[in-house]
Amino acid sequence: MADPKKPATTIAPWQVLGSKYSYRDRWLAVRSDTVRVPNGTILSPYHTIEFPEWICAIALTPEREIVLIEEYRHGIERNSFELPCGTPDHESESVLDATKRELREETGYAAEEWHALGSSTANTARQNNRVHAFLALDARKIAEPELDAGEMISTHLVPWERFLADLADGRLEIPGLHLAALWQLRVFARQTRDPRLLALGL
């Protein structure tokens, strides 16, 4: 039965005629497919990048600050302001546990109260993974960051009102996937009517 919450579609999926992996390491795998699209056209190769699940944390302090990280990102060849983020270390680590660990390792912050905000697709055209967002309330610094050998990360505590203003006027740019997490936070705030979140103007 069709899902009544989803719009009806008449577009058929692609038919996979052949598949092979052209690259694989601990971070990603490149799968090269030969596919037939519904109009009969053959696409070969069509590359899909398989990533592990990604996670990110919206960590808010008792002082209504959001915990951001600043890190050089070689893909854009400049520094980027982001939510604390990462991937599970191993298959048995849940996305929530991974988020708690990444927040602690990257920033030294931790929280007792966590809420799942949902997940979104990372890149529907080329990737197979999802991004899982979590809210950490009353986050506090409990230790110094424990960074990996290749990581150089600065932690920034930004007042919530300034964070929104800087996003709105373009002074602050964060990854699009993290903007999706902020939208999920807005939806969560309106569903739960949590006064701590409504006070943030959500």
pLDDT digits (tens, 9 = 90+) for 54-78: 999 999 999 999 999 999 999 999 9
- In angstroms, rounded to a whole number, what is the distance separating the alpha carbons of residues 95 and 153? 22
- pLDDT of res. 65: 98
Q: Where are the domains of the chain?
A: 15-50, 54-198
CA 96 to chain CA centroid, Å, is 12
- In angstroms, rounded to a whole number, what is the distance separating the alpha carbons of residues 39 and 36? 8
What tokens appear for 51 in the block?
């990533």
Q: For 162-202, how does the pLDDT look when each residue is reduced to its tens digit (9 = 90+)? A: 999 999 998 888 899 999 999 999 999 999 999 999 999 98
> In Å, how far are 31, 159, 172 from 64, measured between CA atoms?
44, 6, 18
Q: What ranges make up the beta strands (E) of the chain?
A: 15-24, 29-36, 42-50, 54-60, 65-73, 78-82, 85-86, 109-110, 113-121, 130-137, 140-141, 153-159
Give the architecture-level CATH label for domain 54-198: Alpha-Beta Complex (3.90)
71: nearest Cα among 95, 99, 94, 105 = 105
- pLDDT of res. 202: 86
28: nearest Cα among 46, 10, 12, 51 = 51
pLDDT cut 90: percent of the chain above it: 88
- pLDDT of res. 170: 87
Coil, helix or strand at residue 107: helix
Mean pLDDT of the region 27-49: 97
